[in-house]
Each structure stands twice: as C-alpha cells, then as structure tokens.
Amino acid sequence: MKIALLDSGIGLLAAAAALRHQRPDADLVLSCDPDGMPWGPRTPQDIAEHALACARAAAAYRPDALVVACNTASVHALDALRDALEPGLPVIGTVPAIKPAALGGGPVAIWATPATTGSAYQRGLIADFADGAAVTEVPCPGLAEAVEQADEAALEQAIAAAAALTPPGTAAVVLSCTHYEMVDERIRAAVAAAGHPRLTLHGPAGAAPG
C-alpha cells in the first residue's frame, strides 16, 4: 500500500510517524508547500488552491489514498480535493479531536490557526460532538510558522499567548493543527504554568487511518 500525506509544511511528519507505526509496510509520499506556508492566514480559496497543488503532486506517485494531514486544509479544501480526485483516489481529512476531548466532561479549549478558529466547519463539529462541554476557541496566530521555522522566540511568544487565552478550569486542549503536535510538550508545560497542571492534550496524528 502507498499512502500520500499533504500539509503546508512539516506538520505532516506527526501524521506520517503515526501511519508508520500503524502500517510499517506502507510506502509514504509526503507533499508540502514550504514556499506557500502558512496556510492559516490565507483565504479559503487560496487554501484550496495550494492544497490541490500539493494533492496533484502527490497523486502523480499513484498512492492508494491521500491523507490531508492539515486541519486547516480539511476545513476549507476537503470538498474541493474530493471533487478533483475521487473516486480514483480516496481523500481522508483530519479534523479537530473535539469528540474525544469532550468525553472527559470538562471544559475544552481548541487551539487552531486563524483560518480554522471560528470557521463554520469547526463550529459545526463543536455543535455535533462537544456533547454539552463548554468549548473555547483559541486562535494561535504565528504558532505554525514558528514551529516550521524553529523560531524559539516566536514559539515562546505564540504558546504563551494561547495559554493566556485558555480559560481557568479547562480540562482538555485540542491541538487543531498538525504543526502544534510537534511541540506538544512545550505546550503542556506552558498551560501547566498558566494554571492547568492536569490538562489533557488531544492531537490529530493519532486519528491517522491504519
């Protein structure tokens, strides 16, 4: 089996690692857009165009499935990708892990890119799967870019800003961007320092199909 993954940048590595663990026999094709990232501040049309370019580049290698390892692209480009590539190439999206985060019953915060925060798609997921839990959407401008560029100062600033917007009593944080999962321990430390020592993180990589 050959599985392709797309993202704006290195955020797809977390999903690739999860897939490698689940299917060590699978060949992986990684397609990203370093010159066009970040996708978070782009318009939905721009996101769809960049995601389609990455998907078509990956499709040239004839994968059996395409994983959209980017929540922002799944929110704004999944329909366009499926219209362009299916049924010949199945397209699998990744979305914020709201349902498992809400199972704990406590308040949930969703850390996301500006394009995902407040989107109709994410709010639909909250309505469908939050199961009555209080949910706060926390925009994280600059965080994906800081991860991509390994910019220590920008990472510290973006994580601290998001931690400050995470309400007291929050029981779980949904990392609604694959880039964020690559610095999950730094995020955990920051939210603990902000007064959430027992908080649980939910990232998207574990939902990668096996």
Give the CATH number, domain containing residue 72: 3.40.50.1860
**pTM for this prediction:** 0.84
Specify whether 70 is catalytic.
Answer: yes
Residues 89 and 145 both lie in one domain? no
Residues 75 and 121 both lie in one domain? no
Residues 179 and 163 both lie in one domain? yes
Residues 103 and 88 both lie in one domain? no
- pLDDT of 58: 97
Specify whether 177 is catalytic.
Answer: yes
166 versus 95: the higher-pLDDT residue is 166
Residues 109 and 80 both lie in one domain? no
Structural domains of the chain, count:
2
Summarised one tens digit per residue, pLDDT across range 29-60 is: 999 998 988 888 888 899 999 999 999 999 99
- Please tell me which residue in 32, 54, 70, 140 is annotated as part of the active site: 70
Residues 86 and 40 both lie in one domain? yes
- pLDDT of 197: 72
Residues 202 and 118 both lie in one domain? yes
50 and 42 Cβ atoms separated by less than 8 Å: yes
- pLDDT of 26: 93
| Alpha carbon separation from 8 to 32, 56, 148 (Å, rounded) | 5, 14, 10
Residues 107 and 146 both lie in one domain? yes
- The kind and range of the H/E element at 172 are strand 172-176
Residue written as tokens 């370093």?
34
- Please tell me which residue in 32, 54, 140, 177 is annotated as part of the active site: 177
Domain boundary among 93, 116, 145: 93
Summarised one tens digit per residue, pLDDT across range 107-151 is: 999 999 888 898 888 899 899 999 888 999 999 999 999 999 999
Question: Which residues, listed in sequence order, are joined to residue 96 by a DSSP beta bridge?
Answer: none
Domain boundary among 74, 93, 112: 93
Residue range of the domain that includes 183 = 98-207
Domain boundary among 40, 58, 93: 93
Residues 61 and 115 both lie in one domain? no
Residues 126 and 151 both lie in one domain? yes
Range with the lowest mean pLDDT among 46-50, 137-141, 159-163, 181-185?
181-185
